[in-house]
Amino acid sequence: AEAQLYAKVANKHRGRSSSALLEPLLAKGFPAHIAQKALVATGQKTTEDAVKWLHSHCNDPSLDDPIPQEYALYLCPTGRLHSRLQDFWKESKRQCGKNRAHEVFPHITLCDFFTCEDQKVELLYDILKRVGDSFSQSFPPSISLTLHASPSYLGFFIDDSQANVFKSFAAAFASEASALADCHVKPSLKQFHLTLAHRFYPHHQKTLEQLAKCINPGEPCQWVAALYSRDMRFVYYQTLRALFQYKPQNIDELMINAGDLIYVNPAQQSDVSEGWVIGTSHRTGCRGFLPENYTERAHEADTWVKHREYVFDTASRSSPKEPNVKLNGEAHNLSMSRSVTNVLSLQNAALRRAVLVMRHGERVDQVFGKSWLQQCLTADGKYYRADLNFPSSLPRQKDSMKQFECDPPLSCCGIFQSRLIGEALLDQEVTVSYVYSSPALRCVQTAQHILQGLKLNPKVRIRVEPGLFEWTKWEASRAIPNFMTMAELLEASYNIDTSYRTHLSLSSLVPSESYEDYVSRSSAVIKHITSACPSKGKGVILIVGHGSSLASLTRALAGLPSRDSGDFAQMVRKIPSLGMCFCEEQKEENKWQMVNPPVKTLTHGANTAFDWRNTILED
């Protein structure tokens, strides 16, 4: 694909632009083609922006590449209608999760993406203004929007008579761009529409429709025809946003600043070490490895560049009549319509319970390897603390201490992490009413220290549920670990609810169970837990489990289909210690929805072992 891109542009004639922005760059000694590339990459705003881009891309290996940008022409709303649409974007994402529409801002596509050589982009600006002027008087004073919904699409469709004006405008722009700027531009031939949601789960359709009905399409709005560009090399990549600065420790690592956007090709990640991704920086053009937990998913359009826009001034021709919004042809008067914010307040009042599913804290073998116990035993078999991140002591077991090899405890950092999460929940005034834990010691300890941070120990007791143990296929020993008994946990001062009757017994756990059996077990357990906690009582049900618990429990609770087993394993690898998912129950529909957790995630770097003799005294 890359070779084809180069072939398209290799024999193109490079003209010389007379841009007033270009001359200062040439005077500074930048080659013409690189200066033009910098201007296009920054939307031809100012010379200062282009110079800043050039300095950032001084080590960009693709700086001399002749590949042009791709451009698209969109009709975009502004003003109060745009604000209402953004409210819908935000609330639909909170209640129903991200769908395809969230990748791009609200728009109607006039001309889909096409390429244009850097030195001819200014011609597009002139064409946009000229065609806009010729259609300014025929542009509709207001646009009639009809809301259409299906199990996978929700959006406003444009009235045919008005859509014909838009099609003529797009066709005129495409014709002139093709003739004058040597671009192959195709005007949109589909029915003109403004997408609100796309490729969402069918059971979210009703919620999305309710939110969409609160958008008044007759809100004051000025429409603009805007020209955007994107880097055609990264069209099918994922976009990540850096949350923190990262300074490379090795030559093949990528320098990133907070807020940087990173292009990542999912197909290139299979051979990358766990916890790392390889990507290309949008800011610098450099490529390298970076820690995945320093990033979050960004939107596709976050890297796009806005070049020019034509504003259709219809204010003087607008009529003040009260608009109606139509849902699949049925009119609904919106003179008393509520905003999305009002809907949210009503829905919040209907919330009853919530479920917070969390992975355990850092375990000792995660830091010191599977042979961690050998590092901590004296010749006579007694435990001692070989590193400050080992726990100060181990709880007593009637059998050999070797049981801890298959059921490891938290590290000291894991204990600190757990208590910190509890304190954060307390700060957010989260009311935890019930606590469930996997029988694994690290999960019980995590639950115990979260309760201490919440200052709920011993008010709320831990219900140990064997059915919450992780997928047994992942057990290295190919056997179910010998977990600490209830009596041993109580003797070690863990706050266990001895009156709790488990849904599954320890003996019912099957070694090396199939993925289907694990998903079925998780679904049955989460149903048991939510049924056992009174629906009339408000508060959070805290479940401390494993990385696999976050998907297997919450997707079953929210009614989402289970992942493919291969995708599931890749997903679990990305879940850090104390990673969490949060589900809220809606009273009116008696269903659960995944929303943002009540507290932020916990991110920290590695701290390796240090031997001063081998470091300081080394020649």
Q: Which residue is catalytic, options 57, 148, 463, 546?
A: 546
Tokens of 345: 């307040």
Tokens of 570: 């890749």
Contact (Cβ atoms closer than 8 angstroms) between residue 398 and residue 380: no
Rounded Cα–Cα distance for residues 460 and 457 (Å): 6
- The helix or strand, by DSSP H or E, that contains position 229, with its residue range, turns out to be strand 223-230
No. of helices (H) and no. of strands (E), the chain:
17, 20
Tokens of 115: 């390429």
Rounded Cα–Cα distance for residues 63 and 34 (Å): 7
Tokens of 416: 């600190």
Put the strands of the sheet holding 69-77 in their side by side order: 108-116, 69-77, 223-230, 305-311
Tokens of 544: 């401390």
Q: Which residue is catalytic, options 84, 107, 359, 419?
A: 359
Helix 340-350 with 205-212: angle, nearest 10 deg: 140
Count of CB atoms situated within 10 Å of the CB of 484: 27
Q: Which residue is catalytic, options 57, 82, 241, 360?
A: 360
- The helix or strand, by DSSP H or E, that contains position 82, with its residue range, turns out to be helix 79-96
The SS3 assignment for 326 reads strand
Rounded Cα–Cα distance for residues 600 and 602 (Å): 7
Contact (Cβ atoms closer than 8 angstroms) between residue 37 and residue 53: no
- The helix or strand, by DSSP H or E, that contains position 585, with its residue range, turns out to be strand 580-586
Active-site residue, 359 included: yes
* Gyration radius of the chain over CA positions: 29
Active-site residue, 360 included: yes
Rounded Cα–Cα distance for residues 81 and 68 (Å): 34
- Give the side-chain half-sphere CA count within 13 A for 30: 26
Contact (Cβ atoms closer than 8 angstroms) between residue 256 and residue 372: no
- The helix or strand, by DSSP H or E, that contains position 52, with its residue range, turns out to be helix 47-56
- Give the side-chain half-sphere CA count within 13 A for 246: 28
Helices (H), 485-604: 486-491, 515-532, 547-557, 565-573
Rounded Cα–Cα distance for residues 575 and 558 (Å): 19
Cα–Cα nearest to 222, from 331, 165, 288, 140: 140
Distance in angstroms between the alpha carbons of the first and the last residue of the chain = 51
Contact (Cβ atoms closer than 8 angstroms) between residue 550 and residue 580: yes
Residue 392, amino acid: S
- Percent composition of the chain: helix, strand, coil (DSSP 3-state, to 5): 40, 20, 40
Contact (Cβ atoms closer than 8 angstroms) between residue 431 and residue 400: no
Cα–Cα nearest to 367, from 382, 389, 348, 350: 389
Supply the residues annotated as catalytic: 359-360, 546
